[in-house]
Amino acid sequence: MPYPQDAQKPVDLDVYTLAKWGMQGGYSVSLRGEIDDLWADCFGQAQHARNETGRFYLDRKRKVLVFSVGSAEDPHKVIAEARALLSLANWRAGRQEAPKPEERSERRAAENPHPGKETATKSTQQRLNDTRTSSRVDASLMVEFCPENDLTAQSAATGMTHDLSDSGIFIVTSRLPAVGERLNLKIHLASRSLIEMVAEVVRVLEKEEARRLQRRAGFAARVSDPSGKYSHLVALSQS
């Protein structure tokens, strides 16, 4: 049975609808494509990553993107910034191909504009890393997860991968499982295929602590991958 995400296309701007918005110096442009909860959450993550939280406003009801333009700015130039923002959101939501190798360093720089902060909090975060036995790679893919013995739609939750390793995975989500809980995972790839596997939760980063560490809440899990598909994904991400 196909998943709804399989039919979804990247959200894009309809530049021909660019018009002045009610507020002073404001403009709006219509959006094409389905804006579901996952994509809206990825859009918010993309804004935070690009330090544009206050620049663009997503009006889901009207399906428009609203933004402010300074007196000396060209609104069409801001459109280019909006496209880059949507591109990052589409990539995070699994609706767009992963960035090319030469673009990955730029993407990482955009998502961590203040690398010094990471160094400053490293000692506090050390306990999150003390069980890592293999190198990890950054990756942002949509994941569905539910308890191993409960496959009902009501129990399923979604998140985004933060990093991958041969034996583990960290998933950013607001639905936090308990340490020791066994989960069924479905990783959605840009090619619209799935990787299904079983995982055991080994660490949980609660929301309060995540805010203190300037990270997003989520959990780390040890994975079991008999098919080898996950290991192949990690190997490709490392190349």
Residue pLDDT, tens place only, 161-191: 888 888 899 998 888 999 999 999 998 886 6
Query: Is residue 102 in some structural domain?
Result: no
Residue range 76-95: mean pLDDT, rounded: 85
Range of the domain at 135: 125-238
Higher pLDDT, 204 or 156: 204
Query: Is residue 107 in some structural domain?
Result: no
Do 217 and 130 lie in a common domain? yes
Do 142 and 234 lie in a common domain? yes
CA angle 83, 191, 168 (to 5 degrees): 100
Query: Is residue 78 in some structural domain?
Result: yes
Residue range 75-102: mean pLDDT, rounded: 78
Q: Report the C-alpha gap between 220 and 194 in whole angstroms.
A: 20
pLDDT tops 90 at residue 11? yes
pLDDT tops 50 at residue 145? yes
Query: Is residue 112 in some structural domain?
Result: no
Q: Report the C-alpha gap between 102 and 148 in whole angstroms.
A: 38
Do 131 and 187 lie in a common domain? yes
Q: What is the CATH number of the domain that holds 47?
A: 3.30.70
Q: How many domains in the chain? A: 2
Query: Is residue 146 in some structural domain?
Result: yes
- Distance set, CA 24 to CA 19, 70, 74 (Å): 12, 10, 15
Do 76 and 167 lie in a common domain? no
